[in-house]
Structure 1
């Protein structure tokens, strides 16, 4: 009886392990999200190369347009655009966009985070709904900031008040530097 239970448990463990391994792949090659080696719902753990890819991933992504679904992580190097739902890591492209949250470093001409940013944005224009970190660029905008510093030509944190809570916050808009702690 013990052998039967042991063999049954071992079989279940092996089946679950093989299903988990089957759900992620080490590499993705794509022309578009629909013309790719693996379906866009397949998680990629390793490397994605393509003209335009869109997978949940923990990977190095190199392409013209790199998209990621769900909670993804890694280094995305896009020659035109990186976009993600939630991303942890580094996004480098002329345009970087995250819908929910970003943790890491976005660097490009335009960096746009609809949700929260925890980390660093460097670019000509940086936007965040909620900033915890640093924005370095010509125009920096944070709708809200928990702890943040902006360095640039135009720096906007609308929730700040004009010099009344110094040194914890500076102003709603400033040239060269603005912050909120």
Structure 2
């Protein structure tokens, strides 16, 4: 593609938050048109960037609502907000309980739709893909509290489940003390 074509594309999809939102909204609309009203559409978005953990997609509930509302209107049924840590408040500068609510909790509150929480579920130690070491299993009290507080409807478990296929059964039967930590080297060798 020539430089002029790239420039036109760049101007069309980039720019203000509203301009950047046009692409996912158009994709969701097209998917909704193709699958009809009875097929669930899940939309995953990330509040953090691996290169900069302080970067945010929205700096306030109002900004977040401005990003989510057009996606709801386009046909999203479930949101899957990705965070580095599922228990970290989305907007900690807010007073009271609002300052303690996770991104999944805010997403659910603002849209009225189901939310999937994710982010270091079952892991306590900092994870760096370049390091091959054990990551300690984490207590799950925050997950249980958030679920009881209706912050999310589903929790996505990744690395903890890769290292301990019995993780859910142990949680269900109250055997959290038996959780196995995560080690990328061991996990990859088990897969290959």
Q: Does the TM-score normalized on the shorter chain lie above 0.5?
A: no
Structure number with bigger Rg: 1
More helix by share: 2
What TM-score, normalized by structure 2, do the two folds share?
Answer: 0.31
